[in-house]
Amino acid sequence: MPHIQAAKSEDSEKLELLHWLNSHLNRCNYEAVSSLEGAIADGITLIRICRAILNEEPPRHAHRPVVLIQRVENLQVAVSWLRDRGVSIPNIHIEDLASNNTKSALALCRALKIYDVAHSNRTGKSIHIGVCQRVYI
């Protein structure tokens, strides 16, 4: 029975994080994702979320990653970008993210959401206008 409850808890967390992720993607006029599995793997969705949260243009990256090395490089760019901005990221292997490891994707999304909530609370209420422009009131 505890195993079933843990699975339900993980599923509800996935849905909560997916809703949070899509709310940021929608605010920036990006296409929503249907599941966390695979959404992070190419680095593009992660870079878009970073852009929405940090309100900055992303570093140079592959816009249409085709091969594994491009996906890994995109993920490295995004994770470095986040760490440089003070986002506390758990010890996640980039290769795990690139290979659709659900637990790694969840851990990363959890860290991003924690940063986003803390940052929004610290700076005041944010309003998104246009494409990823934030105005704080």
pLDDT digits over 8-65, tens only? 577 888 899 999 999 999 988 888 998 887 888 888 888 888 888 888 878 888 788 8
Predicted TM-score (pTM) of this structure: 0.76
What are the structure tokens assigned to 22, written together?
A: 């899509």
DSSP designation for 39:
T
Measured between alpha carbons, how far is 51 from 59 in angstroms, rounded to an integer?
A: 10
End-to-end Cα spacing for the chain: 47
Measured between alpha carbons, how far is 92 from 89 in angstroms, rounded to an integer?
A: 8
